[in-house]
Structure 1
Amino acid sequence: MTDVLLRASGLRVTRSGRDLLHDVDLTVRSGEHWALLGSNGAGKSTLLAVLGATGHPTAGHVEVLGRQLGRVDVRELREHIGHVDPRHRMLSPLTVLETVLTGRTGTTDLMTRWEPTAADVARAEQHVADVGLTARRDARWPVLSQGERGRALIARALMSDPRLLLLDEPATGLDVAAREHLLETVDALRIRQPGLGSVMVTHHLEDLPASTSHAMLLRDGGVVAQGPADEVITSALVSAAFDFPLAVERSGGRWHARRAD
């Protein structure tokens, strides 16, 4: 089995005559944890949608888990991708455990006439424990904090035993404590599953887990820089991507940015 999880070359996405992405090349391997960084409108979420087989390229070649987009049943392919989106639309007031179990069927609600097996429930319980929500397993979605929802969605994504995990701004709307808890959860997951590959979209360097290994900087749909995180997340390159003078520092494994003097 190849260790390449994602490969895009010459990727372009055009909508209404405008390029949302152009000339994007990206390869993500097992054990690599990529950050997609850029300002609003840079193309981050558009790229993540293509990588998750929920969006379609206008041109270029894209392989996800060894299968080429355009020549594969994307519904079947999505079953092997864990997707964490804080804007996840919950149709019913499910409990934490029930929410995690929906990851088994890839649905937004428990399927009628579907019963999880004892093994399914045991796995869901373990994932709930791994994200620190055992005490909240029976709490219903409407009463969960934003941070608890984020961690529940990570547990849900793991129910499909994905080789690839996509995180779309998972720290959105979180206070500082909830953000730190979420990022600790992501770091711990990456240690427990060393073969997992992941791609995370964020606007903020402070939202990157310490386990981030690689980064791509986007601006106006094009790639400013990509490669090992410490070579890409620099003052000069981040300033170029955001078109603003920024001083970037890394301490304790985490990145921070402020206006350059």
Structure 2
Amino acid sequence: MKWTDVDPDRVGLRVERLGIRRDARPILSDVSLTVRAGELLALVGPNGAGKSTLLAAICGDLAPAAGTIEFAGRPLTRWAPVELARLRAMLPQRATMSFPFTVAEVVAMGRAPWAGTRLAAEDDDAVAEALRLTGMQTFAGRVFSALSGGEQARVALARVLAQRTPMLLLDEPTAALDLHHQELVLRLARDRAQQGGSVVIVLHDLGLAAAYADRIALLAGGRLVADGPPDAVLTADRLSEVYQHEVEVLPHPHTGVPLVLPVRP
């Protein structure tokens, strides 16, 4: 699918001097970044750095205490909820279902924003494509709650893909997955960006971020420490300081992609 309605030269997302507070405690402070159409941005950093909070604010689930967020040049607050649902799809860290929905029914929930529009005619194709891309087509009739954690994670991703929005916001989508499916998820995210979409993905695995992201935003203590290409952001001195553990960064012998290795006694 081509995202022909997205101008590749236009900023898809702009965050300016964002601040988030919780119970009067600052969670994010003075964070600014942009994501253009056709770009995959990885948010990385230690636990508690503010990655998921930043993604929730971008999604519209958290109100900023300071700063602004814009989609396609328009402030987030000026988009109606249904408009946002057609613009960006959010994958949270955990997906739970209280009722015995089948896998196909869960994925079809991603089509809800298009109900009553001409694009509702794409519902069946969108669900089938999302199931195929995530390797879950043979699970379509299974009950979601009966699946393993990794299988549920892939169904949740399929629901997001079925939404067919120009922007994907993915919060730790590889956490419950084995190596094969981690690579599958990052390839899907990479493909979406190459088709003209915008992708923001929270990752703990710095190797995956280095291999697949166009840019990496490194957060620590609620602040943006660095933002740029993987080889510029993932330096040994910077990562050792941010993660409070000595690391070394070596180029992959075949691709040159940075490999981050902890120094062990």
- What range is the shorter-chain TM-score in? 0.7 to 0.9
Provide the residue aligned with 2:156 in structure 1: 153
Provide the residue aligned with 1:197 in structure 2: 198
Alignment CA distance shift 1:250-1:152 (3 Å): farther
Provide the residue aligned with 2:126 in structure 1: 123
Shift of 1:201: 0.8
1:79 pairs with one of 75, 86, 97:
86
Which deviates more from structure 2 when the two are superposed, residues 50-59 or residues 135-144? 135-144
Runs of 4+ in 1 over 6 A off after TM superposition: none
Opposite residue 70 of structure 2, the aligned amino acid is: E
Shift of 1:87: 0.4
Q: Percent identity?
A: 34
Higher helix share: 2
Opposite residue 60 of structure 2, the aligned amino acid is: A
Counting matched residue pairs gives 251
Shift of 1:118: 5.8
Alignment CA distance shift 1:151-1:53 (3 Å): same
For residues 200 and 84 of structure 1, the distance between their equivalents in structure 2, rounded to whole angstroms, comes to 9
Shift of 1:189: 4.2
| Aligned ranges 1:132-171 → 2 under 5 Å | 132-171=135-174
Provide the residue aligned with 2:55 in structure 1: 48
Opposite residue 39 of structure 1, the aligned amino acid is: P
Render the CA deviation track for 1:124-170: whole Å, top value 9, x for unaligned: 11221122222222222123233332222222112232111011011
Shift of 1:74: 3.9
Opposite residue 203 of structure 1, the aligned amino acid is: H
Alignment CA distance shift 1:182-1:145 (3 Å): farther
TM-score normalised to structure 1 length? 0.85
CA contact (8 A) 1:51 1:64 kept: no
Provide the residue aligned with 1:91 in structure 2: 98
> Structure 2, unaligned stretches of length 5 or more?
1-6
Render the CA deviation track for 1:46-72: whole Å, top value 9, x for unaligned: 110111111111011210233213333
CA contact (8 A) 2:95 2:152 kept: no
Alignment CA distance shift 1:122-1:177 (3 Å): closer
Provide the residue aligned with 2:66 in structure 1: 59
Provide the residue aligned with 1:10 in structure 2: 17
Alignment CA distance shift 1:89-1:53 (3 Å): same
